[in-house]
């Protein structure tokens, strides 16, 4: 125990002196998961500022699901996320849905993306496409331009020509899992779900409106109970979220004041800095 405490103290002392500010390219270069000394996965930091030690790859195909965008090497996650996606694929197949397409989860070591995401940094976020049905291996390898847009952006409503009950069923199944804390969808999709959910509305409060998300939905899991370095978000507000809060998303944007402050990127958690400064780092770049 004393040796472990001493080792931790040395690590943190070194990190305080380094105070590294990693670039997204540093995380992009990590090609395989970073091994955990005790064999347990460790999500570190927050969803939008963190990393993961001991991530696992989601198998390319499983019961009811298929991984896509594989050329981007973003199909790694915390074991809780991997199990969740496998569980959801099974439930989707049992419900008679077409194959579920799983997009980005996280990079092998998590961390900041060079393009595409502000979150997905701890392996506890995953994108699930609203296009459904199995892809060829070639299309699954490179899926750019193959998504299904389900929102009429001009009208700010779902496109009834492409939206169907399969979409609503899959999102509901995804939200009903107790490990899920939030699911981000386009405000138009949230509105459609509010209008069609019927009497069973207990899952709707997890469905959170957010810009974009009109060809996929974004699932976020809560921190696992044994994840000492993982920071949960505040709980979602009470209620189904189908009232004034939702309709405010459709109001015209307020005029800009003309003064915009540059976005300040916070320093990464010290344990994530340790990952990038480790003498064994070359082992993860292969």
Domain boundaries, the chain: 39-249
Structure tokens at 213: 């998300």
pTM recorded for the entire structure: 0.89
CATH 3.30.1380.10 fits 39-249, yes or no: yes
pLDDT on residue 28: 87
**Other beta carbons less than 10 A from residue 94's beta carbon:** 11
Token pair recorded at residue 19? 């105070």
Residue 15 has a pLDDT of 38
Q: Could you tell me the CA-to-CA distances from 242 to 25, 137, 183, 199, 203 in Å, in that order?
A: 40, 39, 14, 13, 12
Axis crossing angle, helix 270-277 with helix 2-18, rounded to the nearest 10: 90
Please identify every stretch of the chain with a pLDDT value under 70, giving residue numbers as ranges: 1-22, 116, 256-260, 286
Measured CA to CA, the distance from residue 270 to residue 10 in angstroms comes to 12
pLDDT at 168: 98
The CB density around residue 187, as the number of other CB atoms within 10 Å, is 21
């Amino acid at each position: 125990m004393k040796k472990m405490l001493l080792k931790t103290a040395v690590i943190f002392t070194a990190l305080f002196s380094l105070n590294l500010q990693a670039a997204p390219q540093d995380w992009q270069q990590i090609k395989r998961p970073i091994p955990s000394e005790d064999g347990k996965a460790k999500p570190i930091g927050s969803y939008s500022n963190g990393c993961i030690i001991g991530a696992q790859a989601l198998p390319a195909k499983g019961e009811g699901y298929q991984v896509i965008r594989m050329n981007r090497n973003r199909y790694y996650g915390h074991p809780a996320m991997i199990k969740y996606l496998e569980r959801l694929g099974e439930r989707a197949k049992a419900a008679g849905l077409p194959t579920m397409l799983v997009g980005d989860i996280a990079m092998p070591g998590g961390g900041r993306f060079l393009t595409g995401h502000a979150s997905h940094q701890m392996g506890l976020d995953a994108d699930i496409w609203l296009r459904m049905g199995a892809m060829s291996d070639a299309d699954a390898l490179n899926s750019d331009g193959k998504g299904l847009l389900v929102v009429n952006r001009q009208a700010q409503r779902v496109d009834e020509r492409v939206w169907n009950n399969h979409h609503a069923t899959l999102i509901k199944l995804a939200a009903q899992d107790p490990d899920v804390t939030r699911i981000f969808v386009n405000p138009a999709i949230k509105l459609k779900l509010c209008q069609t959910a019927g009497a069973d509305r207990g899952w709707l409060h997890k469905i959170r409106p957010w810009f974009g998300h009109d060809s996929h939905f974004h699932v976020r899991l809560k921190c696992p109970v044994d994840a000492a370095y993982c920071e949960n978000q505040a709980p979602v507000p009470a209620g189904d979220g189908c009232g004034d809060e939702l309709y405010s998303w459709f109001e015209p944007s307020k005029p800009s004041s003309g003064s915009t402050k540059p976005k300040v990127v916070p320093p990464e958690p010290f344990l994530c800095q340790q990952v990038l400064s480790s003498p064994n780092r070359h082992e993860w770049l292969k």
